[in-house]
């Protein structure tokens, strides 16, 4: 059975129409997730919400326990994740209020643990196509239906933060031809792939970063103002996606069974302790 998880801002779990809602505390081998996870039903469909920064936005992007977040969602049976992320625009045509369906990432973070396979068992998953084609198609249909301005396809540069870019950095990233910049989708996307969870990002533009000479330097007030507007649109997107995402699931999705060809460590060297720690993420292949 396919189950949808939403990682994003705290306001998303207030969307109208949720029934039988309950917050679930999930323990993981990697520590605590950002928050409890909201399990709910929407028109008969089960859905899970995880506030990435915790309710009230108390967790710095660099301090998010990405491993615990992904492990917790997989424990609850989540097979597909839509990541709703606030980003800055690096292009003139991507104005605040525009949504971008991301298909590529450049990871410029440096202070985060980026793999579940960091001890004893080594695995190399492919990240050539880091997002799910099926989920991207669903998001495209939904954004068209809701008449929300969007772009399908785009490269998201993930920076460390929590500070915004310098003017020089912003222009460097623009010279690379990138589309948007943010602080949260790496290593989230990499860990979702290691967990064999289909993943897509809907990036919501809040500002022009600091490169745009006709706009003020990025401020929290500016970002929050656009975030509030985007949040209402995001709720509508989630409501539509949960009802239709299964229609576009691709049997050839790059996340499906990707661990079959990823683990390189000799099975004779695996210990029970490590197999247990990875049981949620890789139990399908480790327990064969």
Q: What angle do CA 52, 58, 60 make, to 5 degrees?
A: 70
Q: What is the β-pairing status of strands 180-182 and 155-158?
A: parallel
- How crowded is the C-beta side of 209, counted as CA atoms within 13 Å? 29
Task: Report the alpha-carbon distance of residue 171 to residue 165 in Å, rounded.
Answer: 9
Q: Which of 106, 107, 102 is nearest to 153 (CA)?
A: 102
Q: What is the DSSP letter of 60?
A: -
Complete DSSP assignment for 198-237: EEEEEEEEEE-TTT-TTSPPP-HHHHHHHHHHHHHHHHHH
Token match 């045509």: residue? 93
Contact yes or no for 82/238 (Cβ under 8 A): yes
Residues annotated as part of the active site: 207, 209
The CA R_g of the chain, rounded to the nearest whole Å, is 18
Q: What is the DSSP letter of 193?
A: H
Task: Report the alpha-carbon distance of residue 270 to residue 262 in Å, rounded.
Answer: 15
Token match 């998303």: residue? 12
Within a 10 A sphere around the Cβ of 236, how many other Cβ atoms?
16
């Amino acid at each position: 059975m396919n189950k949808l998880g939403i990682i994003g801002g705290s306001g998303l779990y207030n969307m109208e129409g949720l029934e039988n809602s309950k917050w679930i505390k999930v323990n993981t081998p990697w520590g605590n997730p950002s928050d409890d996870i909201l399990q709910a039903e929407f028109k008969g469909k089960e859905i899970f919400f995880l506030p990435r920064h915790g309710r009230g936005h108390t967790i710095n992007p660099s301090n998010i326990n990405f491993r615990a977040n992904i492990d917790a969602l997989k424990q609850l049976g989540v097979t597909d994740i839509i990541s709703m992320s606030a980003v800055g625009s690096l292009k003139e045509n991507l104005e605040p209020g525009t949504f971008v369906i991301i298909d590529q990432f450049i990871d410029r973070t440096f202070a985060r643990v980026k793999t579940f396979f960091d001890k004893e068992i080594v695995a190399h998953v492919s990240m050539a196509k880091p997002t799910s084609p099926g989920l991207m198609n669903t998001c495209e249909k939904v954004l068209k239906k809701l008449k929300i301005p969007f772009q399908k396809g785009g490269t998201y540069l993930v920076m460390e933060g929590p500070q915004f870019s310098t003017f020089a950095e912003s222009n460097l990233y623009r010279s690379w031809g990138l589309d948007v910049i943010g602080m949260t989708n790496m290593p989230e996307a990499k860990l979702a792939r290691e967990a064999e969870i289909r993943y897509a990002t809907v990036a919501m533009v809040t500002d022009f970063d600091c490169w745009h000479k006709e706009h003020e330097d990025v401020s929290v007030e500016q970002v929050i103002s656009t975030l509030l507007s985007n949040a209402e649109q995001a709720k509508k997107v989630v409501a539509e996606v949960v009802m239709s995402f299964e229609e576009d699931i691709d049997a050839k999705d790059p996340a499906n069974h990707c661990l079959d060809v990823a683990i390189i460590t000799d099975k004779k060297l695996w210990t029970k302790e490590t197999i247990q720690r990875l049981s949620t993420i890789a139990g399908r292949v480790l327990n064969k």
